[in-house]
Amino acid sequence: MRCSILHECRGRIRVHILRPDMTLSQADILEYYLRSKPFVRSAKVYDRTGDAVIVYTGDRAEVVSALARFSYNDKSAQALVPEHTGRMLDRDFEERLVGAVVRRAIRRLLLPAPIRFALSVFHASAYVREALSSLSKGRLDVSVLDAAAITVSLIRGEHKTAASVMFMLGIGEMLEDWTRRRSVDELASVMSLGVDRVWLHKPEGDVLVPLTDINEGDEIVVRTGSMIPLDSVVLSGDAAVNQSSLTGESLPVHKSEGSYVYAGTVVEDGSIVLRVDKTTGSGKYDRIVKMIEESEKLRSQAESRASTLADKLVPYCLGGTLLTYLLTRNVTRALSLLMVDFSCALKLAMPISVITAMRECGSRGITVKGGKFLEAVSQADTIVFDKTGTLTHSTPRVAKVIPFGNNDEQEMLRLAACLEEHYPHSIANAVVEEARIRGLDHEERHSTVEYVVAHGISSRIDGKKAVIGSYHFVFEDEGCKVLRRDLKKFSELPEEYSLLYLAVGGKLAAVICIEDPLREEASDIINGLRGLGISRVVMLTGDSERTARSVAAAVGVDDFRCEVLPEDKAEFVKSEHRQGRKVIMIGDGVNDSPALSEADAGIAISSGAAIAREIADITVSADDLSCLLTLRRISSGMMQRISRNYRFIIGFNSLLMLLGAAGMITPTMSALLHNSSTIATALAGMRNYLPGEDNNV
């Protein structure tokens, strides 16, 4: 691409693209291409002027080289651009704003007074209709205040005042609409499925392939605990699908042959073969936006209180207006009060603060499904950790494979990987990864697999039943035995590892030793959470008491429970609630799902099971637990901002009312100051809560 350098200084360069008429799409492709470079700290492309401003680190030659290599037709560059970038939204707002200002200027300069008056009456009719509609439904809301102010001005022949008020109200509504849509757009853009690979269904067997290789019409398999990656039609099988993220339904929905399933929903139980209906343009973005805008989950208690108060204050505003007129007999002073209301600011600023917090969390690897969960995080005094994949690394590894009977070590690992690859759990992933490292191909040799939550996997290999899982599942539930000649070997199994038992035909075939190293940051994170107001830290695990006690001592939790089942974890959360505690639960497996659902805020690890991520209220990155501290700080900052905004809105608008009643400001000035303060509060609400990030405003 050809471009010229307009200006540069150390670490910053402004270039002009030497081509006419840059489109919005081209601007997005260039901007996201530049942002993808590791040496670029930030990049902004201005489509109107064809300029790009790049802030970078390192060698200037790298920036010049990247620009020289760039092409708008590069498929890899195009793939970097998300479905919605906000550029079109901003352009639409700019054009609407400029159009409104230009139309008002033309009317004032070119049209005679009688026509301007007629236009004012015509535009006022829309406000009157909206007010009458509210009154007919028994509501006294802000539309009644606006219509009253405009109507009184027109009756008095002050059409300039009426026109100015309507212009300010229109600009205010336009800005309010933009700030909310922009915040929702940014939040929806950071929410993604997080599915990279899927099982492609073929006659010769299922094959794990990248999601990008899937085309419309392909058949894929989705099993218990996994997310449906694409909009599809069920060809065969039965499953209970959790659709709560899209429809709000609390119970899973049964899906069978002919049913339609949507991207982003999760198979809670069962296995289905799907025919892909849409690989792109499935409307997931629009469904996320709808979820954000309509879901009651978005509303924290603080938002609900503010919204309720805003509606309750409208009659007092009307009463104050009437009282001012009765005391002063001055219509202008009364109109100045009508120009001010608490509703707009309270109903806009509070949700914007919440959406901004959700968007900032998203930019830091944390996905939050609603404002009330951020509020719960800010208020929580107890945090409950699952152990595996949470306090320990999400990528445990196989330390050794101990075969029993006359079985071969490599063949047993191959068989274990063949069974475990169907289920996304950290220990299952460790087995599959070890097989990959050893170069072991594990073709499908078994029949349909059955996953028993919190226990293990059952299938049939060459006509024999094969099970893999916990001691309780393999030996107590399934009744498998250890050969007499292997009893001594079995009694000497190493204690420092988590053990995974594999049995074939009712006999122990191998024990896989899993090394489950603690996260290096776990102890510091727990201390950090205490510093942020968490008073009680608990660990729950299905491991033995020996392993649990060792981990608990190492990370410094206040209490722990060992050998717990999924229902035990949920019951523990309930017991904490009965003692009056606000509880956060953190887990990554299917077995954590009941407790995640029971907690005030359930937090899933992003690398864990899809059903855990679906049921959880919040999902955090698996890379570093420090995101828990970030989440707590952002949620606390959100509640503090809501409180500050609340005090400012009530105080400032009350001051405007007093000034209007005293005759110190005109109705037009009152409307200007009111709308300006509302927008200023909303824009301030879009600022990030933590330092180190762009404001995205």
Average pLDDT over residues 589-602: 84
Contact 671, 679 (CB under 8 A): no
Q: What is the pLDDT of residues 16-52, one digit of tens each?
A: 988 778 888 899 899 989 988 889 988 899 988 899 9
Non-local CB neighbours of 229 within 8 Å, separated by 6+ positions:
193, 195, 198, 211, 214, 220, 222, 263
Portion of the chain with pLDDT greater than 70, in percent: 85
CA–CA gap between residue 516 and residue 620 (Å, rounded): 20
CA of residue 345 relative to chain centroid, distance: 25
Q: Report d(CA 397, CA 410) in Å as an integer.
A: 16
Confidence grade of residue 245 (pLDDT, cut at 50, 70, 90): low
Out of 217-231, 408-422, 609-623, least confident range: 609-623
Rounded to 5 degrees, φ, ψ at 652 are: -65, -45
- Return the DSSP state at 477: I
Sign of CA dihedral 423, 429, 430, 434: positive
Contact between 11 and 55 under an 8 Å Cβ cutoff? The reply is: yes
As a whole number, the mean pLDDT across the chain is 82
- Report which of residues 39 and 497 the model is more confident about: 39
The pLDDT, as a whole number, for residue 296 is: 43
> Whole-angstrom Cα distance, residue 351 to residue 513?
49
Q: Exposure of 311 by Cβ count < 10 A (0-12 exposed, 13-18 middle, 19+ buried)?
A: middle
Q: Distance from CA of residue 32 to its chain's centroid?
A: 21
Contact 669, 679 (CB under 8 A): no
- Judge whether residue 54 has pLDDT over 90: yes
Query: Treating both helix axes as pointing N-terminal to C-terminal, what angle do 371-379 and 343-363 enclose, rounded to 10 degrees?
Result: 80
pLDDT tens digits for range 500-536: 999 999 999 999 998 878 888 899 999 999 999 999 9
| CB atoms inside a 10 Å sphere around CB 453 | 17
* Rounded CA separation 430/440 (Å): 14
Helices and strands, number each (H, E), in the chain? 24, 24
**Is residue 128 over pLDDT 50?**
yes
- Cα within 13 Å of Cα(457), Cβ side: 27
Burial 661-682 (b: 16+ CB within 10 A, else e): beeebbbbbbbbbbbebbbebb
Query: Which residue has tokens 């401003």?
Result: 53
User: Where are the strands (E) in 279-424, listed by range?
Assistant: 366-368, 382-386, 397-403
d(Cα 632, Cα 383) in Å, to the nearest integer?
11
Concatenate the DSSP letters of all residues of 396-458 into one string: -EEEEEEE-TT--HHHHHHHHHHHHTTS--HHHHHHHHHHHHTT------BS--EEETTTEEE
Digit-coded pLDDT (tens) for 656-673: 888 988 888 887 788 778
528-545 pLDDT tens trace? 999 999 999 999 987 778
Tokens 């204690």 identify what position? 495
Distance CA 166, CA 164 (A): 5
- Residue 448 has φ and ψ, to the nearest 5°, of -55, 135
The angle that helices 667-685 and 331-338 make with each other, rounded to 10 degrees, is: 10
- Kindly tell me if the per-residue pLDDT of 481 is higher than 50: yes
Give the whole-angstrom CA distance, residue 331 versus residue 326.
10
Q: How confident is residue 295, by pLDDT bands cut at 50, 70 and 90?
A: very low
